[in-house]
Structures are given as structure tokens and as C-alpha cells.
Structure 1
């Protein structure tokens, strides 16, 4: 029986690529230079798209595949997929939630610790001889016992909050509605008010048109010159221009960021700032999680073409 034709938008590790190639007829979009011509050539045969969260699938790409049935996203975020275009043609969309939740939460908390205690600079202080020449490293700020805000108490936000409890932190959160599972946490509906009472503000929202720039200039100002912003969600959730301005002026104390507008070509102003920790969008970047994500991408595709229920559908 003929294997279903799949359009692969970005590369996967070998442990995912090999079983994907075995199960499907894979057309590697990311390997060709003339992508428009490539889509004209293979588009009519494509029944599925295998993509990554940050790459998604545009309306143009979806339109070029008239027999498309499913878009399977390697990642929890699917905001880069044109959902309206998929709805219009009843195209299914899946993602890979849960399997990456713990690792993303881990990195968010690690970034908070690393930035608050100045660990990157301190490591450099040892390596460049400053410890021997200049003495002790400048004092930094503690984490335990302070106030944390979690903007978006979904899967990842809740796991972040669970970890913060281990530091005896005073935890508040903001979401659309109060969550029954948020025992011991304070619900604050307004993101500005949440930022105002937080020393550390974690952004763990799913990205959408509604949440675009929810971390506004006002939220950043409320967090203030002693506050830290940690983003392990999507860059679009933050007004990045306002963020850089506040970091430059000292209106915001510091930030720890795993995502950026236009990544990997981020705003060059970030590279000149000492009060921001920069990470290369790798919150889910462990061997264990990436293997589980790849397996779930294939499981969704396999289930669809077998006529079975999709393990993790979003549309």
C-alpha cells in the first residue's frame, strides 16, 4: 500500500527522521531552495504536514496542498499554524503537549536562579581571573521566600508553580478564570496587578491573537526596577520593544528569555545588555522530551491515516 505523502517543514533529529521516513513518503521542504516551485511540484500529493511549533504552516502553504488532511506540530505551541485556513477545509491539527511540560518548567526555574544569582557572570569571573585579581563576586539577590507571579496557569504554568513552592515562595497567578487546582496560590485577574506584587513574573501563556503583547509596557513598568521577567512561552506574548526599552533604562530590573521575535535573528540590542539572560529557544531541549515529541508527531499522523482517534488534537 502506498505510503501517505508528508511535507516536512523543518529538520528533526535522526531518531525521529528515520522512523518518519519509514512510515511515510517524506518531502523535505526545508532542503529545497525554490520553495514555491517545490510546492507546485509536490503540493497536490501532500496529505499531511509535519512541522515544528516555531515554523508552523502558513495559509499559502496550506493552499498549495489541496489534498491536505492534517498538520502535526512538533511542539506544544501551534500559533504559527494558520488555524482559520485549516478550519475552512476541515484540516486536523495536532501538537505535542504534556511530554515537554516538565522540561520547560525546569528551564524557567533554572533561568530564574541563574539570573538572580548571576551565575553566568560569576562563572566568567572565575575563568577570566577576576576572582584571583579582584576578589569576591558582586552580591546578587536571593530567590527563596520572595514573591512569584505566574501569567497563565495551564500545564506548564502549574508545573512552574509546583517547583516554586520548593523555594517557599509566595505565589500568585493570572488566568482567564480562577483555577480549582491552584491551592495555596493567590488569583489576580489583572496582569498589571499581578506584576505589581511580583518579584519574579513567569510568562507561561499559550500564544494567540488575544494574548499578543499581554505583557505590555504597563505590565513591565509594574514589575519595576527590582523585578525579573521570565518568558518560556512565546515571544508574541510580550511587547518586545517595550521590554528592551525598559531593560536599557533600568525601568525593569532584569529578564530571562528563551524566545524572541524573529528568532534566531533577535533584536541586536539584547546582545548589549548585561541584565538579560538569553537562551536559544531550547526549553524542551532534552533527549528524553524530544524523543517523546517526535513519537507523538508520528503517532498523530499514523492514527489519522488509520482512521483512529488523534492522541492530541487541537483542531
Structure 2
């Protein structure tokens, strides 16, 4: 009996999860050879365009390994009745951890201090310049979804006051609500960006928001690169209009603008928010479970409302 065929545009990790996919299905890697497939496995930063969907007349499921769907043509999926699944919840802690780590690395000059020691400057030049406390600050979370709320739990547990912005105020939330990004930035010292990507949030953190954050403020982005105006951010860092930034995501990954590479007080990581063994294994299992449910005619475990 032949195995069901699917198109894989992304890899599952760790390797044993990729091996499991290979054992269960005939995995096709090239879209030109996949006209008859019902399922596409992709990732949040890879997505699936309308033009690609047009090459797949039998497509019934887009299984996204991640929570980002801004690179998926949701309107076309909706028009054709194609289901979309993501991997919510299981990566929230990993991304929240990294957001906190970036804040600490930026405020306390951890990455800069590492470079300072390795370059021999400690012995030659003496002490590194003073950093600033992170946990004594008031935090703002731009995007109060699963990741944002998990981050809020971590921050609150360390005694921080937390504010948030979402499309609407969340009933019963333990944190203070602000109606928009500028008001949130004005009232916090540490601005975490965890909002969903896409056209609605492109450039949401612009020069005005950065100005509201102020010269003592730190920005951390673990959402999507285009949510933050990269040039406005680079200019604010160069001018000292904000104190620093921790960035895990960029507009044109893996390309990073030189203006950010050269900006002072900027800590950069290569989109590793969910890159822990535990998180990636749980994500891969959700992908496998959703694909298995589709082929078995069972309800999908984590459907995304398209």
C-alpha cells in the first residue's frame, strides 16, 4: 500500500521528528512534482503564496510549523476552502524566555560585555560602561496573545508591573490596558513586541512610538521584523532617542540591515525564539498530529481560523 504524499517546504526538528514524517508519508520537496498532494507542510517564515496554491489543485491542508501565518495567503485559502493549522501554546514559553533574555542582554550589556572580555578590553581599558536595571522597569507588551500573556506571567512573577495593548481590553486581565502602541510606549520603559505579523501591523512601531518610549527605553521584538520600522529604530538608537533594542526578527531574513548591525545598544539573534529542543519537538508533534487527523478524516487539532 502506497504512502500518502505531501509537499514539505520546511523541515521538522529534531531529526527523529523529520524521520517520523518520512516514515509516514511520501515526502515531496519540489512544488513542481506535487500537483496531486492534499497537504503542504510549511513554516511561518516560508508560508504559501496564492501562486503556489494555484499549482496544487488538490490542496486541502496547509500545516504550518509555527504560529506565524503572515506569509500564507489566507484569503486564497479561505476562498478555496483550504484548512490551515498552526502550533500554538507549545512554543509560547520558549519565545517568552528569549524575549526576557534579550531584555536582560540589552539592559545589562551582556552581549557587549562578552565582546569586551574576548577582545581583551577588560585588561586594557578597565570597566565596561554602566548598564541599566531591567527588572526595576515597567513593562509593556504589544500583542496580548498566547506568547504575550506567557511573557506577562514571567514578568509579573519577577515583580514587574505589566501593561499591554491588544485589539480590545481583555476581561479579567491582571495587567493594565492601553489603547494603542504609542500610549503603551509612553507609559512603559521596556516595550516587548509579540503582536502577530501581517499587513495590519506592518510599521506599527514607528518613529512616533519610539519617541514615546524615550531615551531610557528598551525595545524587544520577538514577533515579526516588519512590525518595527527598522530604519526609524536604527536612527533612534544612533541618536540615543532610545537606550537599546533586542531583536530576534528582521524584515528580510537572514539579511540584517547594516544600520542595525552598527547601531549602539542593539543585541541581535537569528530568529531563535522557538529554537529549543523541547519546543521544536512539541511543535513537530502537533504538525504530525494535524496531518494524521486530516488523512484519517478526523477533526484537526489546532485549526487556524482563516
Provide Cα deviations, 1:111-152, integer angstroms capped at 9, x if missing partner: 101110001111222233222233222211011221111111
Q: 1:145·1:167 contact (CA, 8 Å) conserved in 2?
A: no
Query: What is the rounded CA distance, in whole Å, between the counterparts of 2:186 and 2:238 in structure 1?
Result: 20
1:178 aligns with 2:169: yes
Query: What is the rounded CA distance, in whole Å, between the counterparts of 2:138 and 2:290 in structure 1?
Result: 40
Query: What is the rounded CA distance, in whole Å, between the counterparts of 1:234 and 1:214 in structure 2?
Result: 11
For the residue of structure 2 that corresponds to 1:16, the secondary structure is helix
Query: What is the rounded CA distance, in whole Å, between the counterparts of 1:305 and 1:71 in structure 2?
Result: 13
* Cα displacement (A) at 1:163: 1.2
The counterpart of 1:49, out of the listed 35, 40, 44, is: 40
Cα RMSD between the aligned structures? 1.4
Structure 2 counterpart of 1:107: 98
Structure 1 counterpart of 2:134: 143
Structure with bigger RCO (C-alpha 8 Å, 6+ apart): 2
* Cα displacement (A) at 1:240: 2.0
1:197 aligns with 2:182: no
User: Tell me, which stretches of 5 or more residues in structure 2 are unaligned?
Assistant: none
For the residue of structure 1 that corresponds to 2:35, the secondary structure is helix
Query: What is the rounded CA distance, in whole Å, between the counterparts of 1:128 and 1:229 in structure 2?
Result: 27
Structure 1 counterpart of 2:286: 296
Q: Which runs of 4+ in 1 moved over 6 A?
A: none
Query: What is the rounded CA distance, in whole Å, between the counterparts of 2:157 and 2:301 in structure 1?
Result: 33
Query: What is the rounded CA distance, in whole Å, between the counterparts of 2:191 and 2:208 in structure 1?
Result: 14
Structure 2 counterpart of 1:69: 60
Structure 2 counterpart of 1:265: 255
For the residue of structure 2 that corresponds to 1:285, the secondary structure is coil
* Cα displacement (A) at 1:12: 3.1
Query: What is the rounded CA distance, in whole Å, between the counterparts of 2:285 and 2:108 in structure 1?
Result: 37
For the residue of structure 2 that corresponds to 1:45, the secondary structure is coil
Structure 2 counterpart of 1:236: 226
Query: What is the rounded CA distance, in whole Å, between the counterparts of 1:265 and 1:124 in structure 2?
Result: 22
Q: What TM-score, normalized by structure 2, do the two folds share?
A: 0.95
* Cα displacement (A) at 1:274: 2.5
Q: 1:43·1:66 contact (CA, 8 Å) conserved in 2?
A: no
Query: What is the rounded CA distance, in whole Å, between the counterparts of 2:123 and 2:202 in structure 1?
Result: 47
User: Tell me, which stretches of 5 or more residues in structure 1 are unaligned?
Assistant: 30-37
Query: What is the rounded CA distance, in whole Å, between the counterparts of 1:86 and 1:161 in structure 2?
Result: 33
For the residue of structure 2 that corresponds to 1:158, the secondary structure is helix
The counterpart of 1:134, out of the listed 112, 122, 125, is: 125
Structure 1 counterpart of 2:27: 26
For the residue of structure 2 that corresponds to 1:44, the secondary structure is coil
Q: 1:71·1:93 contact (CA, 8 Å) conserved in 2?
A: yes
Q: 2:135·2:158 contact (CA, 8 Å) conserved in 1?
A: yes
Query: What is the rounded CA distance, in whole Å, between the counterparts of 2:297 and 2:12 in structure 1?
Result: 25
Query: What is the rounded CA distance, in whole Å, between the counterparts of 1:237 and 1:168 in structure 2?
Result: 28
Q: What is the 5 A alignment of 1:197-236? A: 197-236=187-226
Query: What is the rounded CA distance, in whole Å, between the counterparts of 1:123 and 1:274 in structure 2?
Result: 15
